[in-house]
Structure 1
Amino acid sequence: MPCFECTGPETKHQMTLPSAGRSKGGARAPCSHSWLHQLFYFYPHPQIWARKFLPVPWLLCGPRRYASSSFKAADLQLEMTREPHKKPDPSECLLFGKTFTDHMLMVEWNMEKGWGRPRIQPFQNLTLHPACSALHYSLQSFDKVELLECIRRLVEVDRDWVPDSAGTSLYVRPVLIGNEPSLGVGSPTHALLYVILCPVGAYFPGEALSPVSLLADPSFIRAWVGGVGDCKIGGNYGPTVFVQKEAKKKGCEQVLWLYGPDHELTEAGTMNIFVFWTHEDGALELVTPALDGIILPGVVRQSLLDLARTWGEFRVTERKMTMNEFLRALEHGRVREVFGSGTACQVCPVHRILYQGKFLHIPTMENGPELILRFYNELKMIQYGTKAHEWMLQV
């Protein structure tokens, strides 16, 4: 039975859909962002866990008084498409984020009436006022709670779009935008929450575990203390596109974001960064930057940390890590593997870093990469349902 992945401990869920109507009963394919997994990942601020639900103004512009309540999955309306699209040929390569399913989930909100009734409707373009606040001030954010059941229903409706090929998945993308027709900066009085689904292949071109190279240039900064670098919002991504283009000009696929005078390692592109090495004290260690306000608390990041701690075979550390420390370890042959983690790519090996005009060779691939492969296979077994785990939820 096709399964939908969930790789985050916050979710502890996996989606499994019935095979009715499928031509390949028993085939399995993961969903790169399972519904609950995705929502926790895209707004994982600690304050959220203490709230039963989040009002739109709080999500978009901070906490304030409100009178609205959450929408209910029991009120979900369904409008099936009359013009179904042709589904991708299983034999062809699926490009990431280029193909979309037949339906989408929509929920409207306004200050006066609160949430409207959620509805699943045919996939269509959005109609936005030219002064829509999201277009001018990047107020995007994400929500959860009753939305979870609505997304489950959406996936059920479009279950025939779940790809069966190995290495493919159904990617779930929820978006919340302020759509008030006003140029003023402030909490919007109108918002639109929608969810779209994409059958996708590998995030990076090539094989699932093809290594990438990183540009480490301290003149480019992704996030800073006191900012919103630990939040999954649109404003954190637009400014990185230019740096990504600069990295490609220099022969690198992604950017290793550094921070501060010590050139702290923070993230790799849109991924969390991990280093597997032998520490100076002789202990085998998996280290990743601590969640200090500039690091996105990724669900896959936490999943890998939890898996590694469950194995208990090496030290697992969340702490500050500088380029000087990394260079010493590389020079002394103590670095084993470097990789990024994210919901789109799962785990991504790193084999080169361009730093201060010099390419540093990282022996990730020469070392297997044993740990990366172990993480990757463990996640896939959970996502495809071949291994029972507490993160799974039958649907």
Structure 2
Amino acid sequence: MKAADLIINPSTTFKEKPDPKGLVFGTVFSDNMLFIEWSVDSGWEKPQIKPLENLSVHPAISAFHYAVEPRGLTEAKLLHMLWLNEYTLFEGMKAYRGVDGKIRLFRPSLNMDRMLRSAIRATLPGFDKEELLECIRKLVEVEKEWVPYSTSASLYIRPTLIGTEPSLGVKKPSRALLYVILSPVGPYFATGTFNPISLWADPKYVRAWKGGTGDCKLGGNYGSSIYAQREAMELGCQQVLWLYGEDHQITEVGTMNLFLHWRNEDGEEELATPPLDGIILPGVTRQSILDLAHKWGEFKVSERYITMSDLIAALKDRRVKEMFGAGTACVVCPISTILYMGEHLHIPTMENGPQIASRFLKQLTDIQYGREDSEWTVMVS
């Protein structure tokens, strides 16, 4: 795969750009896409930027089988639903239009690192990370008018890699397709950019397990979470707080990494997040928050296990300051309530400012939108 071989044949018809204030996550797509095919015999074909179109594939391709199998699938739905399967992996990153009018990507090399790790775990073909990133940068450059003229919206970038071998055998695919689609997005949650959310914590469902694929961004990890998410919403909660093990370790919140700002058992002010032990997705925003916190040097920063018993004890002792999720889609999202074992646990995030969560949000978005210079950004135009 070489960015120098990129063939650009963009669309000659253009859709109307949506109002940034009314965007619903992942429902509107730009005019063009990046499309790269691979086979075991020929390797990667020349990358193409071409008009966004439906995919035409054999119904036996490996991406359709052995994980979530959507019934009644039509070609028109295919492009939006492939990410639900085990022979599919994807990334989530964004392009931001800065206050200076320039377009930036935020730490995209970390996304490429994670995507390659996911590809290896899924037995899908590897790729040159720098070359793919340059192809993505070119796609965003072609579609620059799709990057919202707003500092509360952005252009979501979805690189996807699927196995396309037309065989029902459970084996390493001999054919694959890598494509990238773009979608202008606003706040991920309907409640807004920085409104607190409620969580449902129940040990009967797990997101990932030791030796599994929880540390990779594979489609099957997400498709299998939908049932629990629906139950959470039926109970009046917006997201699932995923627990693990007999001691009910806190792992992730919905599709986000989780942070707890508290006074720990030793009386220290601490920002804690679960460790990358194979069941936690190594989020780009997670790493950025850890990096910022270490740079500030104002409190202890830990990657450690936290159980529901630890949290309940800290709440009773009034040691909890803030709890929040972090991810590309939402950036930082405060948590206000957890429904656990039939009891609503109040998390005093909003009563405490929330000073830390809002500070992380401000600095991250200042970097993303060009209000603060940083080596974390890559310029598109």
Within a 5 Å distance, the mapping from 1:46-61 to structure 2 comes to: none
Count of residue pairs brought into register by the alignment: 324
Within a 5 Å distance, the mapping from 1:373-392 to structure 2 comes to: 373-392=358-377
CA shift digits 1:223-253 (9 cap, x unpaired): 1111111111011111100000000000100
Q: CA deviation at 1:279?
A: 1.1
Q: CA deviation at 1:118?
A: 0.1
- Residue 140 of structure 1 is matched in structure 2 by 88
1:179 to 2:108 alignment = no
1:99 to 2:28 alignment = yes
Instruction: Tell me which amino acid in the other structure corresponds to 1:364.
Output: T
TM-score by length of structure 1 reads 0.81
2:5 to 67, 70, 75: 75
1:279 to 2:208 alignment = no
CA shift digits 1:187-239 (9 cap, x unpaired): 11110000001110000012210111010001111111111111110111111
Within a 5 Å distance, the mapping from 1:107-122 to structure 2 comes to: 107-122=36-51
Q: Secondary structure at the match of 2:195?
A: coil
- Residue 52 of structure 1 is matched in structure 2 by none
Within a 5 Å distance, the mapping from 1:114-263 to structure 2 comes to: 114-137=43-66, 138-141=86-89, 142-143=115-116, 144-263=129-248
Q: Secondary structure at the match of 2:88?
A: coil
Q: CA deviation at 1:305?
A: 0.4
CA shift digits 1:331-352 (9 cap, x unpaired): 0100010001111111110000
Instruction: Tell me which amino acid in the other structure corresponds to 1:227.
Output: G
Q: Secondary structure at the match of 1:174?
A: strand
CA shift digits 1:242-269 (9 cap, x unpaired): 0000000001000000000100000000
Q: Which runs of 5+ in 2 are unaligned?
A: 67-85, 90-114, 117-128
Q: Give distance in 2, aligned partners of 1:170 and 1:260.
A: 37
CA shift digits 1:81-121 (9 cap, x unpaired): 1221111134x411110111110000000011111000000
TM-score by length of structure 2 reads 0.84
Runs of 4+ in structure 1 off by over 6 angstroms are none
Q: Secondary structure at the match of 2:266?
A: coil
Q: Give distance in 1, aligned partners of 2:258 and 2:358.
A: 16
Q: Secondary structure at the match of 2:310?
A: helix
Instruction: Tell me which amino acid in the other structure corresponds to 2:347.
Output: I
| Percent identity of equivalent pairs | 58
- Residue 19 of structure 2 is matched in structure 1 by 89
Instruction: Tell me which amino acid in the other structure corresponds to 1:206.
Output: T
Q: CA deviation at 1:166?
A: 2.9
Q: Give distance in 2, aligned partners of 1:134 and 1:291.
A: 27
1:298 to 2:251 alignment = no
- Residue 324 of structure 2 is matched in structure 1 by 339
- Residue 65 of structure 1 is matched in structure 2 by none
Q: Give distance in 1, aligned partners of 2:235 and 2:367.
A: 38
Q: Give distance in 2, aligned partners of 1:393 and 1:115.
A: 25
Q: Give distance in 2, aligned partners of 1:218 and 1:348.
A: 23
Q: Which runs of 5+ in 1 are unaligned?
A: 1-70
Instruction: Tell me which amino acid in the other structure corresponds to 2:13.
Output: E
Q: Secondary structure at the match of 1:282?
A: coil
1:393 to 2:378 alignment = yes
Q: Give distance in 2, aligned partners of 1:89 and 1:340.
A: 27
Instruction: Tell me which amino acid in the other structure corresponds to 1:171.
Output: Y
Instruction: Tell me which amino acid in the other structure corresponds to 2:54.
Output: N
Instruction: Tell me which amino acid in the other structure corresponds to 1:391.
Output: W
Instruction: Tell me which amino acid in the other structure corresponds to 1:105.
Output: L
- Residue 303 of structure 2 is matched in structure 1 by 318
Q: Give distance in 1, aligned partners of 2:180 and 2:330.
A: 20
Q: Secondary structure at the match of 1:347?
A: strand
1:367 to 2:296 alignment = no
Q: Give distance in 2, aligned partners of 1:250 and 1:233.
A: 27
- Residue 121 of structure 2 is matched in structure 1 by none
